[in-house]
Amino acid sequence: MGITVGIVSEIAPGERRVAMAPTALSVLSKTGAELILEAGAGDRAGFPDSEYSTKGVRLAGREEIFATADVILQVRSPGANPETGTQDLALMRPGQTVIGFGEPLTALDAARGLAERGVSFLSMELMPRITRAQSMDALSSMATISGYKAVLIAADTLPRMFPMLMTAAGTVAPARVLVIGAGVAGLQAIATARRLGAVVSGYDIRTAVKEQIESLGARFVILNVEAGGAAGSTEDKGGYAKAMGEDFYRRQREAMGSVLAEQNVVITTAAVPGKKAPILITREMVERMAPGSVVVDIAAERGGNCELTKPGETVTHNGIGILGPLNLPSTVPYHASQMYAKNIATFLKYLIGKDGQLTIDREDEIVRETLVTHRGEVVHAKVRELMGLAAPQAV
């Protein structure tokens, strides 16, 4: 007999995604798992119940799912849902496994709560960036959508068009767009802005991404403030940009000011997991931009890369619009859910053994790096360190 997997509606305010889309069900088809879906869970993402039930998914109520499922799949588990996550926490039970986003490096109280409930929590944010886990990398999937949507928001807000146009009234000059940060979100933003016809530049402290930026038809901005000029000094072992010292960011801001003054749109994407986003754009730098220009700060959820950013709001300063959008993937819930569902289903399939049961092998790198709580305690080394606890015992 296989395990029972439950998918519930997301109760975080404004969240429209669902953890499992009908298109990803085939990934789990040979695992022997029984899937139970809370009725209406996929409605806001564009997936009616009928699309699940025709594929063998049983519909049930929320409390029944929490009471019977061996595994709960979520987009926003309690740590990533500070407003209403305690409601879900109260329904979880000892021995249950929960997989989802959970902000484990910052939501330490939620991690403690999950441990106290006896829940095994696997965090999708902590998925290691290794080849074996590439198909499970939900952060990259969601960053793709964020980069795409940020450009559309900028194009909609900017009081000019992106492409160069030859018209009866003369030539319309193309918009100039600068993307700061060439991770997954930044590269997608560059590609989208180019498709819309803008003249695009990209900047990243990791000079190794120069080729990637230029391959998308954008110009790589060189500020001559790189830390040693080597990717190894600005990138952690997981492939993420490292937090640099304040002196580096100060020199970077000074060099960046003149570049920003030439742009119509600036999209910032610089974020370091578990830390406040670095301030890359100051008030003075914004004031050098032309009136009507737009800054879209994707890092708003981490505090923002712009000094003037207010998360969830649009600020106008000297005629410049500074947008701090939150949860951009949820604004494209259909494809965001499809992508996330494929990631989480692939992860779950990886955890299910040949006997159809869930296996938590803490010697496996993927499990070890994503497992936050297990058997009544916080077991993730980094989370324990942040809590001031001793390193976990060897398994």
Q: DSSP states of 199-257 as a string? A: EEEEE-S-GGGHHHHHHTT-EEP--S--STT-GGGTB-TTSPBPPPPHHHHHHHHHHHH
**What is the tens place of the pLDDT at every residue in 208-222?**
899 999 999 999 998
**CA 318: distance to chain centroid?**
31
CA distances from 159 to 55, 153, 196, 238, 325 (A): 47, 12, 15, 39, 19
Residue 368 is among the residues annotated as catalytic for this protein: no
Task: Check residue 232 and give its pLDDT.
Answer: 44
Catalytic residue status for 70: no
Q: Could you say which of 87, 134, 215, 258 is catalytic? A: 134
pLDDT value at 165 more than 50: yes
Q: What are 134-164's pLDDT values in tens digits?
A: 999 999 999 999 999 999 999 999 999 999 9
Q: Is-catalytic flag, 137? A: yes
Q: Is 194 a catalytic residue?
A: no
Give the separation between CA 74 and CA 257, rounded to whole angstroms.
Answer: 42
Residue 129 annotated to the active site: yes
Residue with tokens 């996550």: 85
Which member of 135, 219, 233, 240 is catalytic? 240
287-329 pLDDT per residue, tens: 999 999 999 999 999 999 999 999 999 999 999 999 999 999 9
Q: Domains in the chain and their CATH numbers?
A: 4-136+333-387 (3.40.50.720), 143-326 (3.40.50.720)
Give the distance from CA 235 to its chain's centroid: 18
Which among 129, 219, 251, 288 is annotated as catalytic?
129
CA dist 239 and 183 (Å) reads 9
List, for residues 246-300, the tens digit of each pLDDT value.
Answer: 677 777 777 788 899 999 999 999 988 888 999 999 999 999 999 999 999 999 9
Per-residue pLDDT reduced to its tens digit, 61-92: 999 999 999 999 999 999 999 999 999 999 99
Give the least confident one: 157-161, 202-206, 302-306, 379-383: 202-206
**Residue 119: pLDDT band by 50, 70, 90 thresholds?**
very high
Structure tokens at 284: 């003075």
Backbone angles phi, psi at 302, to 5 degrees: -100, 15
Q: Mutual orientation of helices 138-157 and 333-351 as an angle, nearest 10°?
A: 170
